[in-house]
Each structure stands twice: as structure tokens, then as C-alpha cells.
Structure 1
Amino acid sequence: MPKSTEELKNDLHLASGIEGFLVDNRKDFRQYTLAEYLHHLLKEKRLIKKDVVRDSLLERIYAYHIFAGRKKQPARNKVISLALAMKLTPEETQYLLYYAGAEQLYVRNPRDSILWYALEHHMSVLDTNLMLQKMSELTLLNVGEELS
């Protein structure tokens, strides 16, 4: 079983050198592309891609490009929309954001706290946008994008 992030942090803290740490722990490093991680999540959660794309409220072609690996670093809001559509946990979303090359959620940021709450409560993209709007925060998608 792979080491947890905390175990890796502890091993790194105790390591006498970085080279040995990297060699000793290479099997525990996750090296997915964004598309690979999305497909892993689809399989793990038994989700259907077309349902996720629909529920994300993203432009259909754009979302499929993310899944196909053609969009390697999509906008953070689009990644969060996919996470909401997939009903990911906040922790799974953090990994998704990492693989997308996007800034992870930071709960000291009010907007990110709202997003974290939405993820924990399995809210839809539309309901999350309404809550963001109600709290005077920027929504995930523009109104035109939501309707396409």
C-alpha cells in the first residue's frame, strides 16, 4: 500500500539527503496527467463521462477536451465545476487541482471556503454558483457558459 502524504512528509523530514529519499520512495509518488486522473475517478466512482460533462455546465466540447488531455491546464473554476459534477470530496478535489496545475483550495479564503462547503455537501454547480452570488463572490461560470 502506498505511503500517505503525512508518511512521505515525515520520511522527507528525516532524510539525510534528497537523492536517497527520491529513490526510496519513487513507488509512492503519484504521477498522473489530469486526463489520467479524471479517468481514474470516473472508474473508481462508476461515473459516466457524458453525465459529468452535462452536470459540470461546462461547454461540452471544452469539457471533452479536458478529459481527452487536449486541455492540460484548464482554468481553476472549470476544474472545480468538474469536481462538483463528479461529487468529489474536498481532498479529491485538491488532487484534481494539483494535476490540473491549478491553485488548491485554501479555506482561509472566503470564496474557497464556500467552494469547500459546496464540495462537502455535494452541491451542484448551479447551486454553488447561486451561493457564491448570494455571498457576493465570483461565480464559477459566466451566465452564458451555464446555458451552453
Structure 2
Amino acid sequence: MVDKRTAILASILNTAGITSYGTLKYESFMKIILNSKEKKVKDILREYENEFIDRKASHLLHDFIQEKKLKNVEVIERSNVTKDYFYAIYSGKRMPGRDKTLQLAFGMSLSLKETNLFLKTAGHNELYARNKRDLIIMVCLKDCKTLSETDYILYEIGFDPLTPE
């Protein structure tokens, strides 16, 4: 099955008049696109601008906190991240890793949809139901589990918890 990113790139190549690309990987698509003289990069970017995420994780973090009427200190405590780390993300100086992004999602009691948006905005893959660990996390989000409850479930089933020990 072709992932969304590859499908978009295949569509871009077809639009640029490049139809024989076989089963190339993402990196190969990028080389073809960058070497293509048939269509300007600006035109390609303009055509597919809705597929790109321009928001920063820090902006989305701020928006979620305001929307859910949370205090930063609450999110810090419920996410089990340090104050310094939280404010580095909040100010845009740092991008959180995938597990830290998930910790923050639990700390803000985000829905699965909101969590996936937060993950994408932070530059990470969405939770994937065919990955056992991700599936457990998805169920915990759906069931409104806390971070510590989720970590316990992950640990009991034999997976790494989100929070480092």
C-alpha cells in the first residue's frame, strides 16, 4: 500500500509530465522533482500547498492550552516533562520528539484527532493502528486514560512507556 506522502509525490510527478517512475521511494521522487525542468517548484508547491503544515508545534501547543482552558503548570505536571523542556517547546526553541509530543497530548487530554494533528505539526508520524504500541496509545487516548495509566499499560504489555524511567 502506498503511503499518502508517496501518493502526493506521484501525483506531482504526473502533473509535471513524468509518468514512468515505477516503485520509487520518497527520496527518489524528491530527486526527480528537484531535477524536473518541466514545471517550476513554485508552481508545484502552490498546487499542493494544502498538503503542507505551516504551523509550528509551539503555536498549536499554545492554542490547545488556551482552547482547553489549562494552565501551563497543569500541562507540565500531567505531561511529566520538566519546566525548562516545556518552555523550550512552548517558545519554539525546541521541537519535541514523538514520545514527548504524546506526553504533552496526554497532559492536555487531547482527543485522538487532536493528538494526530499535534504529532504531524511536530514533524512526526500519526498514530498507526497496525503498530501495537501505537494502537495501545490510541485506545488509551480514546478511553481518556492519564499518562501514568497509559505508561503502566504499555509496560505491563511489554512495550516502552512514553515517560522515560
TM-score tier (shorter): 0.7 to 0.9
1:52-91 to 2 correspondences below 5 Å: 52-72=75-95, 74-91=96-113
CA RMSD between the two structures: 2.8
1:64 offset after TM fit, Å? 1.7
Cα distance between partner residues in 2 of 1:27 and 1:45: 26
1:29 offset after TM fit, Å? 6.3
CA 45–21 in structure 1, closer or farther in 2 if over 3 Å, else same: same
Task: Return the TM-score normalized by structure 1.
Answer: 0.76
CA 33–126 in structure 1, closer or farther in 2 if over 3 Å, else same: same
1:68 offset after TM fit, Å? 1.2
Is residue 53–residue 121 contact of structure 2 (8 Å, CA) maintained in 1? no
Moved segments of 4+, more than 4 Å: 25-30
Letter in 2 for 1:128: T
Letter in 2 for 1:22: R
Is residue 107–residue 116 contact of structure 1 (8 Å, CA) maintained in 2? yes
**Structure 2: gaps spanning 5 or more residues:** 1-10, 17-42
Cα distance between partner residues in 2 of 1:21 and 1:71: 26
Q: Quick one: higher RCO (CA 8 Å, sep 6+), 1 or 2? A: 1
**Structure 1: gaps spanning 5 or more residues:** 1-12, 144-148
Query: Identity rate of aligned residues, in percent?
Result: 28
Is residue 53–residue 64 contact of structure 1 (8 Å, CA) maintained in 2? no
1:60 offset after TM fit, Å? 2.1
User: What is the aligned residue count?
Assistant: 133
